[in-house]
């Protein structure tokens, strides 16, 4: 999260720096235009034809400088955008894998819970059967002892 914030801040700083460079070039352009205006006044007064060529060369030079700067900035920003898109794609893929893992783990947990419930039900069933068998056995033993005592008393008398 911090690295994203740092990159975001870095991007903003780069944009601000590039804007300052463009503003500086525009200021130079303004200075150059003032110079051209003064020359133009002199040429118009004198009727010289070199002004047209000077203006054309000056504008071509300024156009090249500004376009190089803008193209460079666009390329930098496109590169960063591409990197961020790749990072987002990786994060999406990782997220999908994790979601699949979570779903599988939930299914496994549900199956284990079902198995535990079945085992518990079987255990309770066996406990009940064992308890019933024990009661029946105790009853049978008491009955047998009762008959033995009755049988012994008959033989004693």
- Write out the E strands in the chain: none
43-52, 106-115, 139-148, range with the lowest pLDDT: 43-52
Q: Which helix (H) or strand (E) holds 157?
A: none
- On whether the CB atoms of residues 29 and 62 are closer than 8 A, the answer is yes
**What integer pLDDT is reported at residue 99 of this predicted model?**
97
User: Over the stretch 131-146, which tens digit does the pLDDT of each residue have?
Assistant: 887 777 777 777 777 6
DSSP state of 48: -
Q: Which helix (H) or strand (E) holds 49?
A: none
Residue 137 or residue 151, greater confidence: 137
- On whether the CB atoms of residues 65 and 28 are closer than 8 A, the answer is no
**What integer pLDDT is reported at residue 71 of this predicted model?**
87
Q: Say how far apart CA 146 and CA 142 lie, in whole Å.
A: 6
Q: Domain extents for the chain?
A: 2-156
User: Over the stretch 63-97, which tens digit does the pLDDT of each residue have?
Assistant: 888 888 888 888 988 999 999 999 999 999 999 99
Q: Which helix (H) or strand (E) holds 58?
A: helix 50-156
């Amino acid at each position: 999260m911090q690295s994203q914030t740092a990159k975001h801040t870095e991007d903003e700083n780069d944009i601000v720096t590039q804007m300052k460079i463009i503003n500086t070039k525009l200021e130079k352009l303004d200075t150059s235009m003032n110079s051209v205006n003064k020359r133009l006044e002199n040429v118009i007064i004198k009727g010289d034809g070199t002004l047209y060529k000077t203006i054309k060369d000056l504008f071509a030079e300024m156009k090249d400088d500004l376009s190089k700067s803008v193209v460079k900035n666009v390329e930098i920003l496109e590169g960063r955008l591409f990197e961020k898109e790749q990072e987002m794609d990786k994060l999406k893929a990782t997220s999908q894998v994790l979601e699949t893992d979570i779903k599988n783990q939930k299914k496994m947990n549900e199956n284990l819970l079902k198995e535990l419930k079945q085992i518990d039900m079987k255990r309770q069933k066996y406990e009940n059967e064992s308890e019933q068998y024990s009661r029946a056995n105790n009853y049978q033993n008491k009955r047998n002892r009762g008959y033995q005592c009755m049988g012994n008393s008959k033989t004693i008398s």
